């Protein structure tokens, strides 16, 4: 579902919770902030108007304006009279260098010991920031996969990935049976380098629903890029984790 389609979804207005401490304007702010982080509203994209937001979320124009003002104050969007609001956020996180073998082994274990459910799988034109990362044109498609990962029936991870086409073996059914790393290996893809950064965010209505938590809860946001043996970006992943159900450990050697 595109961001524009999501704004027209009648269920969106029902996602706001009036019986929680988080104010309505902040719930709208969290939703939009997360969409910007995930690239659903990419850099340079024009934001919905206050009128569109008030209708989509069934809130007042004042509530919608306050959410947009907060995004502007934190540097996510710029607001110019007569020209609307546009996304100015770019991920500038520094990447940590670590041995690839240990990372991939941890991912393999995670895939074997938890359960994954597909929420969407399709060929699609990615948002602008993903196009720039992959160095592709505005009409080129990648494979988008959206998944939720659980442990003993409790969801703890929400994933949005973009991957280059590797053939029919990489499909929605195969992702239910094997890890993505296994499918990449079977298709003859040799991963050579991984860059990732981790930051903190808060759950919005979208992620709160998927992860079965209230809005406004702290979450871990992982940004991971995998490169093949030719140094070409092959796969990009946004992963959002519940810190109460997922712990990210790293071990470094000083040798």
| Rounded Cα gap, residues 229 and 191, in angstroms | 6
Q: Per-residue pLDDT for 134 more than 60?
A: yes
Sheet of 191-202: strand order equals 115-124, 142-151, 154-163, 233-241, 218-228, 191-202
- Is the pLDDT at 76 greater than 90, yes or no? no
| pLDDT surpassing 90 at residue 68 | yes
pLDDT higher than 50, residue 10: yes
Q: Could you tell me the two tokens for 203?
A: 């759950």
Alpha carbon distance 198, 193 (integer Å): 17
Tell me the CA distances in angstroms from 235 to 98, 165, 181, one per residue in order: 18, 10, 11
Q: Residue 250: which pLDDT band, with cuts at 50, 70 and 90?
A: low
Query: Can you tell me the mean pLDDT for 22-41?
Result: 82
pLDDT on residue 162: 95
Instruction: Determine contact, residues 212/151, Cβ cutoff 8 Å.
Output: no
- Of 63-72, 87-96, 130-139, 144-153, the one with minimum mean pLDDT is 87-96
Most confident of 35-49, 130-144, 189-203, 209-223: 130-144
Read off the pLDDT of each residue in 61-86 and give the average, rounded to a whole number: 90
1 has a pLDDT exceeding 50: no
Of 38-42, 100-104, 232-236, the poorest mean pLDDT is in 100-104
- What is the mean predicted confidence (pLDDT) over 143-172? 90
| CB-based contacts of 75, cutoff 8 Å, min separation 6 | 88, 89
pLDDT in tens, 207-218: 888 888 888 888
Mean pLDDT of 124-137: 88
Residue 127 has pLDDT above 80, yes or no: yes
Tell me, what's the pLDDT at 109?
43
* Matching residue, tokens 């939720």: 148
How much is the pLDDT for 132? 87
The predicted pLDDT at position 203 comes to 84
Residue 245, pLDDT above cutoff 80: no
User: Taking the alpha carbons of 175, 181, 98, 105 in that order, is the dihedral positive or negative?
Assistant: positive
Residues 68, 239, 42: CA angle, nearest 5 degrees? 40
pLDDT tens per residue, range 83-114: 889 998 875 544 444 444 444 444 444 545 67
Average pLDDT of span 165-171 = 90
């Amino acid at each position: 579902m595109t961001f524009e389609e999501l704004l027209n979804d009648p269920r969106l207005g029902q996602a706001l919770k009036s019986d929680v401490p988080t104010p309505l304007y902040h719930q709208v702010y969290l939703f939009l902030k997360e969409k910007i982080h995930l690239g659903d509203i990419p850099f340079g994209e024009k934001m919905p108007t206050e009128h569109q937001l008030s209708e989509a979320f069934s809130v007042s124009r004042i509530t919608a304006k306050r959410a947009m003002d907060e995004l502007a104050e934190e540097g996510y969007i710029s607001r110019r009279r007569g020209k609307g609001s546009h996304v100015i956020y770019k991920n500038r996180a520094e990447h940590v260098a670590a041995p690839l073998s240990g990372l991939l082994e941890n991912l393999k274990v995670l895939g074997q010991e938890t359960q994954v459910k597909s929420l969407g799988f399709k060929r699609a034109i990615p948002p602008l920031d993903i196009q720039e990362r992959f160095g592709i044109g505005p009409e080129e498609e990648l494979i988008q996969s959206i998944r939720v990962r659980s442990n003993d029936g409790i969801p703890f991870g929400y994933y949005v990935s973009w991957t280059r086409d590797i053939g029919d073996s990489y499909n929605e059914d195969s992702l239910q049976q094997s890890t993505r790393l296994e499918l990449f290996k079977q298709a003859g893809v040799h991963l050579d380098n991984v860059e990732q950064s981790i930051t903190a965010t808060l759950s919005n209505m979208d992620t709160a629903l998927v992860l079965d938590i209230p809005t406004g809860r702290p979450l871990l946001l992982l940004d991971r890029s995998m490169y093949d043996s030719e140094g070409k970006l092959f796969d990009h992943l946004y992963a959002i984790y519940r810190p109460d159900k997922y712990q990210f450990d790293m071990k470094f050697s000083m040798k």
